[in-house]
Homo-oligomer: A and B are copies of this chain.
């Protein structure tokens, strides 16, 4: 398993890359991946890990490289949507025979890839998770998944397909664009971080009103963490909010999912593979 790491949003540090290599080297030889961290991951241009051309170029380098089995997004933050329109038409045959891994902001690009039928996409912990206390377990989970370990999978989606997982706000910002995948019949898992409850409510109301999402087979809510106080108090928690919008829209609400911006975050394969 050869993995290319690129950063379509914000950068990681060389220290994260070194820790990642050490983690891989500690794995049993039969399962040990070869990890190629693209130097673009360490660039900085304002908010981003290099300008759009640098980030798009690194992604295309990795995606179109027939020697790589997977492209792993290093970090979220914001930036992957800025690349979508430019990179999609430049993906060749090698890009279609590849696994794409990440979550959070990377979901914009992952959703577009899934919608375009390019490769196999999975919501999964990213190298940047190494900065969290206990983050090694999260990052190892992605490597275990690539090595064929089914315990890395989010349990509900291990049993049921097709599925997809997104950060709620990132999915809301794909809505209406040509890059929103059709989630008809899918089990849709959503997680959120650092958004006040009125924004969670607002984004969920939009999402369940999008025809290609209203036809989902069910919605599960991952963890919504670091929610700032709503002023005034919203009067409902995220579970009640999700229940309410599902009831209105007719999407079955199937309870909580084991994903989130944390070290417990599990792997969700998009679609059925």
Q: Which residue of chain B is the closest to A105 with respect to CB atoms?
A: B202
Give CA–CA (A57, B211) in the complex, Å: 26
Copies in the complex: 2
Residues of the B chain whose Cβ atoms lie less than 8 Å from the Cβ of A210: 176-177
Stretch at the interface among A28-36, A227-235, A261-269: A227-235
Task: Determine whether the beta carbon of B46 is less than 8 Å from that of A202.
Answer: no
| Residues in B neighbouring A211, C-beta threshold 8 A | 178
What is the bound-complex CA distance between A108 and B121, given in angstroms? Answer: 33
Specify which chain B residues have a CB less than 8 angstroms from the CB of A81 in the assembled complex: 202, 205-206
Give the nearest-CB partner of A86 in chain B.
B248
Are A47 and B234 also in contact (CB < 8 A) when A81-B202, A205-B81, A205-B82 are? yes
By a CB distance below 8 angstroms, the chain B residues around A201 are: 78, 82
Q: Which of A7-64 contact B (CB under 8 A)?
A: 44-47
Identify which of B78, B175, B235 contacts A46 (C-beta below 8 A): B235
Are the C-beta atoms of A176 and B179 separated by less than 8 Å? no
Chain B residue at minimal CB-CB distance from A208: B177
A206 touches B173 (CB 8 A): yes
A window 156-195: CB within 8 A of B: 172-180
Given contacts A46-B236, A78-B202, 9 further A-B contacts (CB under 8 A): A45-B235, A46-B234, A46-B235, A47-B230, A47-B232, A78-B198, A176-B177, A176-B212, A177-B206
